[in-house]
Amino acid sequence: MKTQQSYAKNQLGTLYLVPTPIGNLDDMTFRAVQTLKDVDLIACEDTRMTQKLLNHFEIDTTKVSYHEHNVHAQTNELIRELLDGKNIAQVSDAGMPSISDPGVELVAAAVAQNIPVVPLPGANAALTALIASGLAPQPFTFYGFLSRKKSELNEELNHLKDKTETLMFYESPHRLVRFLKELVNVFGEERKIVLARELTKRYEEFVRGTAKEVLDWADKTELRGEFVVLVAGNEEVEEENYWENWTVLEHIEYKMTYEKLSSKEAIKLVAKERGVPKREVYAEYHQK
Ligand code: SAM
């Protein structure tokens, strides 16, 4: 076990995880700007991309690149700097580092070395989409990008189709129609879905409807920009052992009230779901 007091005095440097805007530069927080000014080094997914942000906020901190192709070597190098007492901010091109972006290896390596890791709150495409989607905001599963291979995509969707929580995906515009087709195929035409496009930008748009309606829309629209796809949980699946904390009587009453069953039908089903003899359930019901 380990504990981290983020702001205790320390000989080591601190790794700050700094979210950056997903479109609208005004979404950069005061604290994020100040942190990028104060640190010794900014580890960027793409230094040219981050330079635009730094120019806008007049930040002249030294940058190094930290992206999927140099993760291993750069993680070691950045950890050396942190052990040396340097403070480092890690940013990705947009939104939260580590969320479908580079970062996790650096965080894990810092944690392993007891280097404080301090996250800043800020922009994130999935959560921004979720709160305006109109779908259940919790529970949810954030999935990020699904596989680009058709057979793996189909397998992943089959694995997810009975989930009862809201599902959130990232998808590029040129793969969106293919993704929606597979979604209709596996989840059915009636599943409620929401597309959130170009969040925080001028052409921000939400498309809400059934999977089939949204696929038809996407099929006849020139798709541009960035998309979050949100999918309502499967409402037809009853959670396994939903009755676990109920008495037999509560279980029977639930069946009679919400599934409109007679007491006889309810007793039969309750016995089946609980895996106990019908006469036991019957006896309990008639003792009440
Ligand atoms: N780290 C980012 C975050 O915290 O949201 C996500 C980075 S991931 C490489 C990029 C994907 O996020 C895009 O393909 C798109 O699915 C989604 N995305 C990013 N910005 C968006 C925006 N402004 N509107 C809608 N989706 C966006």
Whether 23 is in the pocket of ligand 1, judged by its Cβ within 6 Å, is yes
199 lines ligand 1 (CB under 6 A): yes
153 vs 184: CA distance, rounded Å = 13
Pocket test for ligand 1, best of 53, 93, 100, 104 (most atoms within 8 A of CB): 100
The residue type at 100: S
Q: Given ligand 1 and candidates 120, 176, 228, which is best to mutate, with the most ligand atoms within 8 Å of its CB?
A: 228
pLDDT at 5: 95
Ligand 1 pocket member 204 (CB < 6 A): no
Rounded CA-CA distance 123/19 in Å is 6
At 204 the pLDDT is 98
Cβ–ligand 1 distance for 22 under 6 Å, the answer yes
How many angstroms does the Cα of residue 91 sit away from the middle of ligand 1? 14
Q: Write down the number of H helices and E strands in the chain.
A: 11, 10
Is residue 45 lining ligand 1, measured as CB closer than 6 Å? no
Ligand 1, atom nearest to 97 Cα: 1
The backbone torsions φ and ψ at residue 124, rounded to the nearest 5 degrees and listed phi first, read: -155, 130
Residue 39's nearest CA partner among 78, 97, 72, 93 is 78
Q: Two tokens at 216?
A: 């038809």
The angle at the Cα of 54, spanning 48 to 55, to the nearest 5 degrees, equals 90
Positions of the chain with pLDDT under 70: 239, 288
Check pocket membership of 171 for ligand 1, CB cut-off 6 A.
yes
Do 211 and 193 contact (CB within 8 A), yes or no?
yes
pTM over 0.75: yes
Cβ 92 under 6 angstroms from ligand 1? yes
